[in-house]
């Protein structure tokens, strides 16, 4: 027993000696909490492009009245060079946080998210229940929500119902019917052209071309995401637009019109038909009111049946470098709320992404054209999703404009576009 006790003492002494000779490295303590940027509050800036500023002044004013310590400054940036996002993209690329919340085209959201320009939105704070699935998909990248759906839209055909009805016709379903209606209506009327859209260097040129190609049975990109535009069907769609310009039914001058100028030409009675978005309807009709013109709205026509409209929309993104994300998040949810969606839809400036509002009877009484929008949305298709949206739209414009101007044939242009899209989408 005595020997055992002595060994225990020696073992303990050796352990103490070893401990005394060893340098102890303290374990760094973890902070008890990590700062949550969604709690930061204060003034923010809301940047928009593409003529959307006027329609958003009322909700911004409503927010500022209710939140005097967290005011929103609305900035409208011009569209330039046939692209709708240059101002937003340039500042984001520079790492600027000066634009807190940005209003993006749905097709541009993927590029902004992929390049790290947007903040991922926590699913727990940004519910998407009841929103159009295409709108949610357009705001999602890499399985995360990077923007909040705000509005949806579709291409429509506006027409002079007074002239069409007087000629004994109805709203055209096909391209042939559109041409024949124009021939009847424009006969003996000088200064009246058949049709215009957003062509030339307009940011919506890609949508106009996509509708023509889809409505002829062609594609821009396959279901697998590879270019598929070099086909006879796609050439038929593009030739329909080019033949319209060559024949004069589409005024050659319209290749230089902005979207606003095309609307002015239609509103002043110089066009029978105008391809535009549903949301453009709020800016049409002043001429009808002044001169007794009657406005009609229907779906885009196609080769042998109804055409395929482009689905589009706008998303609300929060800049990755922005401060006061707590205020930004609340403001984004405010704009996408049912109350604000209802108000903007009643004015005809933003189609609601909350699908229940498309069939809301009280809203339909205020804005009957919502029924036309709902019909168009049922068959509308979004433009291809790409992380290189700016390059994609530029490639389409560079290929198509020479065809519309009569300097290149459709088939050759689409062969070149196929190759260029292969480089962009790889």
List, for residues 31-42, the tens digit of each pLDDT value: 446 899 999 999
pLDDT above 70: residue 19: no
Asked whether 309 and 155 are in contact (CB, 8 A), the reply is yes
All residues at 6 or more sequence positions from 102 whose CB lies less than 8 Å from its CB, including other chains: 46, 47, 48, 88, 92, 112, 316, 317, 318, 319
Kindly report, residue by residue over 302-358, the tens digit of the pLDDT. Answer: 999 999 999 999 999 999 999 999 999 999 999 999 999 999 999 999 999 999 999
Q: What are phi and psi of 211, to 5 degrees?
A: -65, -40
Helices 205-215 and 389-404: angle between axes, nearest 10 degrees: 70
pLDDT above 90: residue 57: yes
Helices (H) and strands (E) counted in the chain, each on its own, are 17, 12
Q: In terms of pLDDT, which residue wins out, 303 or 269?
A: 303
Confidence label for 417 from pLDDT (cuts 50, 70 and 90): very high
- Dihedral sign from CA coordinates of 88, 93, 94, 97: positive
pLDDT above 90: residue 75: yes
CA–CA dist 382, 275 (Å, integer): 17
pLDDT score of 32: 47
Strands (E), 39-178: 44-49, 72-77, 101-105, 140-141, 144-145, 148-160
Percent of the chain with pLDDT over 70: 88
pLDDT above 70: residue 64: yes
Asked whether 56 and 48 are in contact (CB, 8 A), the reply is yes
pLDDT above 50: residue 234: yes
Which residue reads 């569209």 in tokens?
A: 79
Structure tokens at 39: 């709690």
Structure tokens at 20: 């005394």
Per-residue pLDDT, averaged over 52-67, amounts to 94
pLDDT above 80: residue 86: no
pLDDT score of 33: 61
Per-residue pLDDT, averaged over 48-70, amounts to 91
Query: What structural domains and CATH numbers belong to the chain?
Result: 38-153+312-382 (3.40.190.10), 155-310+385-425 (3.40.190.10)
Q: How far is C-alpha 256 from the chain's CA centre?
A: 23
Asked whether 219 and 203 are in contact (CB, 8 A), the reply is no
Q: In terms of pLDDT, which residue wins out, 16 or 254?
A: 254
Confidence label for 3 from pLDDT (cuts 50, 70 and 90): very low
Asked whether 84 and 394 are in contact (CB, 8 A), the reply is no
- Would you say how long the chain is, in residues? 426
H-type helices in 121-204, by residue range?
Answer: 133-138, 161-166, 175-186
H/E stretch holding 277 = strand 271-277
pLDDT above 50: residue 148: yes
pTM: 0.87
Per-residue pLDDT, averaged over 96-125, amounts to 93
Kindly report, residue by residue over 200-210, the tens digit of the pLDDT. Answer: 877 899 999 99
H/E stretch holding 298 = strand 295-298
Asked whether 58 and 350 are in contact (CB, 8 A), the reply is no
H/E stretch holding 378 = helix 370-379
Q: In terms of pLDDT, which residue wins out, 58 or 19?
A: 58
Of 202, 199, 219, 222, nearest in space to 210 by CA: 219
Q: 3-state DSSP call for residue 351?
A: strand
């Amino acid at each position: 027993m005595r020997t055992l006790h002595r060994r225990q003492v020696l073992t303990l002494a050796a352990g103490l000696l070893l401990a005394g000779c060893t340098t102890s490295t303290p374990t760094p303590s973890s902070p008890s909490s990590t700062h949550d940027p969604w709690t930061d509050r204060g003034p923010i800036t809301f940047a928009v492009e593409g003529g959307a500023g006027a329609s958003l002044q009322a909700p911004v004013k409503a927010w500022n009245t209710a939140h005097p310590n967290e005011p929103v400054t609305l900035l409208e940036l011009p569209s330039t060079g046939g692209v709708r996002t240059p101002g937003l993209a340039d500042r984001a690329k520079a790492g600027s946080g000066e634009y807190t919340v940005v209003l993006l085209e749905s097709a541009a959201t993927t590029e902004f998210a992929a390049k790290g320009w947007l903040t991922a939105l926590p699913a727990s704070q940004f519910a998407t229940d009841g929103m159009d699935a295409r709108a949610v998909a357009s705001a999602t990248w890499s399985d995360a929500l990077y923007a909040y759906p705000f509005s949806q839209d579709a291409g429509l055909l506006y027409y002079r119902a007074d002239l069409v009805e007087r000629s004994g016709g109805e709203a055209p379903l096909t391209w042939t019917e559109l041409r024949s209606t124009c021939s009847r209506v424009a006969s003996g009327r000088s200064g009246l052209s058949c049709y215009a859209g957003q062509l030339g260097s307009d940011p919506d040129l890609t949508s106009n071309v996509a509708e023509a190609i889809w409505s002829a049975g062609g594609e821009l990109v396959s279901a697998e995401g590879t270019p598929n535009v070099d086909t006879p069907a796609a050439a038929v769609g593009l030739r329909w637009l080019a033949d319209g310009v060559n024949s004069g039914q589409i005024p050659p001058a319209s290749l230089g019109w902005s979207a606003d100028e095309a609307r002015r030409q239609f509103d002043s009675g110089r066009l029978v038909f105008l391809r535009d978005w549903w949301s453009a309807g709020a800016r049409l009709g002043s001429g009808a009111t002044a001169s007794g013109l009657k406005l009609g709205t229907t779906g885009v026509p196609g080769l042998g049946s109804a055409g395929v409209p482009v689905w589009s929309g706008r998303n609300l993104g929060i800049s990755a470098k922005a401060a006061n994300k707590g205020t930004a998040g609340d403001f984004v949810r405010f704009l996408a709320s049912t109350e604000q969606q209802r108000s903007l839809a009643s004015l005809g400036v933003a189609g609601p992404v909350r699908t229940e509002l498309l069939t809301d009877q009280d809203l339909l009484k205020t804005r009957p054209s919502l029924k036309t929008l709902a019909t168009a949305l049922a068959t509308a298709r979004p433009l291809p999703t790409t992380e290189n949206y700016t390059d994609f739209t530029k490639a389409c414009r560079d290929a198509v404009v020479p065809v519309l101007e009569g300097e290149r044939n459709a088939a050759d242009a689409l062969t070149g576009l196929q190759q260029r899209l292969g480089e962009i989408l790889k």
